[in-house]
Structure 1
Amino acid sequence: MTDADRLSRADAPVAVLLNPSAGRGRHRDLLPDVVCRLGAVDRPVRVLTARTVEAAEAECRAAVTAGVGAVVAVGGDGTVHRAVQAVAGAGVPFGVVPAGTGNDFAADLAVPADPRAAADAVVAALRSGRTRPVDLARMTGPDGAGRWFGTVLAAGFDAIVSERANRMRFPRGPRRYDLAILAELARLRPRRYTLRLDGVEHRVEAVLVAVGNGTSYGGGMRICPYADLTDGLLDVVVGGRFDRRTLLRVKPRLYRGTHVEHPLVHTYRARTVELVAEGITTYVDGERALDLPVTVTAVPGALRLLS
């Protein structure tokens, strides 16, 4: 069944994955209005809520298998990430209503930042049957396990900080990440990576390696500033042998994307990236993913965006 077939069926419901805790619940009061606005499409709306991220992903997969007309993710990059695992490559029209902390994928897609305006835009696309193709990246481990992602794969200092923060029980909120950064800065050292970019091998020592389908992560840090969601390529950014002082000086430039002008930063483009290093767990779309080594492949048009 094509996306046009799904959208043309008046009885095909729209599945809405709702995450009330996204963005630390700051948009919780808006969610009933968002669901009401999505209901203006005059077709059944099936709200999916789950207590765990695994259950959310399973509910999205079940909805796609059942033949829903579209899937809409209401939340942040993590919520989008879970829904994308079900719709990627399936031809199911997909909408995004940003209601999280970072919303990097939505920003790359030029989705309205206001959740109500974004819901109205999804409804307009549903009514007109309008979608556009968007690239995704597919990562695969040595055992064949895989994940789709829309934004950036982090496999360096940023991933190490996230891993430490996730192990910490105290404090809660942003301060936990601040403390994790301080702890990992004290241990900062370049690591040895092997990169194979479309089969061409590069051996590097680096503190940061990012593979971008999109431009940004972490709420607007433009780590891969020239990434394009429609070019069928991955952008790779390697931050070399930074010491602590230099890394702290360069970090603010991530929000403007000008860090790539630093002589210790190197950028590449490839359709397939093989990434090897010891002791690194990757993060994609802000979510914990696979341990290295992994292979990442750009998949053109894997997502049909309601737009």
Structure 2
Amino acid sequence: MTTDFIAVLANPRAGRGRHRGLLPGVLQVLGESGRAVRLLEADSGVAAEQACHRAVDEGAVALVAVGGDGTVHRVLQAVAGRAVGFGVIAAGTGNDFAAAVAVPENPLEAAAGITAALEADRDHRIDAVLAADAAGRERWFCAVLAAGFDALVNERANRMVWPRGPRRYDLAIGLELARLRVRTYTLEIDGETRTVPAEIVAVGNAASYGGGMRILPDADPADGLLDVIYAGGLGRGGLARLKPRLRHGTHVTDPRVHVLRARHVRVHAEGIIGYADGERLGPLPLDLKIVPGAIRLLR
């Protein structure tokens, strides 16, 4: 069995397939490290995670995610808290984690950085978030957990079979705005309990989600802290006016928006499914702990 190899999980549909032709070049650059490069095969998200875990167990020195935040999320389950290196090549529609940790936008440049890091035996320690649901099932994420209006939009869009593409999310936004209401959240912030009315709630390790919406503009993925945001009393008009400001992170100046930092956060509200790194995490309550330096990022 070959050990000390580089395993690569690539999503050919990421970024609507626009980077598909670059994969052979990426694999070639990674191979310049002198190690064998193994492209992992999987036909589902579950199979992808299983393949990543097998690669680590078989002696992979690094796992590389080629895709967007969804692909990063899959690989993260096998690398967080372990000694294996983690490489990211941004090739998705939304590359929020890659942007947060300064991964080069050019895929070949990112691959060269991973190769150089392996050759120099260096890494950058990055935090990750360990989430647990009410049954104690654990899952890692690295960017942002959406637990408010945006989570409702994600859940509705994922249930829809028409239309396809971005229009589905536009329709889901309109439908959720029509039924918008303030919900009561229980937030436990480092042991302090707050009961707050809110329409927006998010907890994260990185600044943005949804392909560049800077929901937590001051979040630092290496500071050992979670950033928490909640906002209430917005109404449909207020929420619609606030959303464009997310691109620049200026929404945090609104007096109805509250931002906190903590190491341990518990989020609870009725009828909300949490989404982290754009992936369905599960129903609230969710218990979130920051794990400093859980990722050995190769860059």
**Above 0.5 in TM-score?**
yes
Are 2:55 and 1:63 aligned? yes
For normalisation by structure 2, the TM-score amounts to 0.98
> 1:186 pairs with 178, 184, 204, which one?
178
Are 2:274 and 1:306 aligned? no
Contact 1:137 1:297 survives alignment (8 Å): yes
Are 2:42 and 1:50 aligned? yes
Residue 115 of structure 1 corresponds to: 107
Are 2:119 and 1:133 aligned? no
Aligned CA-pair RMSD? 1.0
Contact 1:154 1:283 survives alignment (8 Å): yes
- Aligned partners of 1:142 and 1:243: how far apart in 2? 30
Q: Give unpaired runs (5+ residues) of structure 2.
A: none
Contact 2:3 2:59 survives alignment (8 Å): no
Q: Match for 1:59: what amino acid?
A: A
Residue 248 of structure 1 corresponds to: 240
- Aligned partners of 1:243 and 1:130: how far apart in 2? 49
Q: CA deviation at 1:50?
A: 1.1
- Aligned partners of 2:238 and 2:124: how far apart in 1? 41
- Aligned partners of 2:137 and 2:81: how far apart in 1? 16
Between the two proteins, what is the percent identity of the paired residues? 58
- Aligned partners of 1:115 and 1:235: how far apart in 2? 29
Matched residues, number: 298
- Aligned partners of 2:92 and 2:284: how far apart in 1? 28
- Aligned partners of 2:226 and 2:205: how far apart in 1? 5
1:123 alignment partner, SS class: helix
1:57 alignment partner, SS class: helix
Residue 7 of structure 1 corresponds to: none
Q: Match for 1:141: what amino acid?
A: D
Q: CA deviation at 1:11?
A: 5.1
Residue 5 of structure 1 corresponds to: none
Counterparts of residues 11-26 of structure 1 (less than 5 Å): 12-26=4-18
Contact 1:69 1:92 survives alignment (8 Å): yes
Question: Which whole-Å deviations, capped at 9, do the CAs of 1:44-78 have from their partners, x for residues lacking one?
Answer: 10111211011000000111111111111111000
Q: Give unpaired runs (5+ residues) of structure 1.
A: 1-9
> 1:83 pairs with 67, 75, 85, which one?
75
Q: Match for 1:265: what amino acid?
A: V
> 1:151 pairs with 134, 143, 149, which one?
143
Question: Which whole-Å deviations, capped at 9, do the CAs of 1:260-287 have from their partners, x for residues lacking one?
Answer: 1001100111100011110100000000
- Aligned partners of 1:232 and 1:173: how far apart in 2? 36
- Aligned partners of 1:11 and 1:280: how far apart in 2? 43
- Aligned partners of 1:205 and 1:180: how far apart in 2? 23
- Aligned partners of 1:226 and 1:18: how far apart in 2? 30
- Aligned partners of 2:149 and 2:5: how far apart in 1? 43
Residue 34 of structure 1 corresponds to: 26
1:41 alignment partner, SS class: coil
Residue 4 of structure 1 corresponds to: none
Residue 207 of structure 1 corresponds to: 199
- Aligned partners of 1:70 and 1:249: how far apart in 2? 43
1:223 alignment partner, SS class: coil
> 1:267 pairs with 259, 273, 287, which one?
259
Contact 1:19 1:49 survives alignment (8 Å): no
- Aligned partners of 1:200 and 1:285: how far apart in 2? 26
Structure 1 moving runs of 4+ over 4 Å? none
Residue 3 of structure 1 corresponds to: none
Q: Does 138-147 or 173-182 show the bigger shift?
A: 138-147
Are 2:93 and 1:104 aligned? no
- Aligned partners of 2:256 and 2:124: how far apart in 1? 37
Residue 216 of structure 1 corresponds to: 208
- Aligned partners of 1:163 and 1:11: how far apart in 2? 40
- Aligned partners of 2:35 and 2:60: how far apart in 1? 11
Question: Which whole-Å deviations, capped at 9, do the CAs of 1:214-273 have from their partners, x for residues lacking one?
Answer: 111000001011111111110000011211111111111101111010011001111000
- Aligned partners of 1:139 and 1:46: how far apart in 2? 30
- Aligned partners of 2:119 and 2:273: how far apart in 1? 42
Q: Match for 1:116: what amino acid?
A: L
Question: Which whole-Å deviations, capped at 9, do the CAs of 1:118-175 have from their partners, x for residues lacking one?
Answer: 1111111111111111000111012110110000000000000000000000111000
Q: Match for 2:286: what amino acid?
A: V
Contact 1:97 1:119 survives alignment (8 Å): yes
- Aligned partners of 1:234 and 1:49: how far apart in 2? 34
For normalisation by structure 1, the TM-score amounts to 0.96
Contact 1:11 1:43 survives alignment (8 Å): no
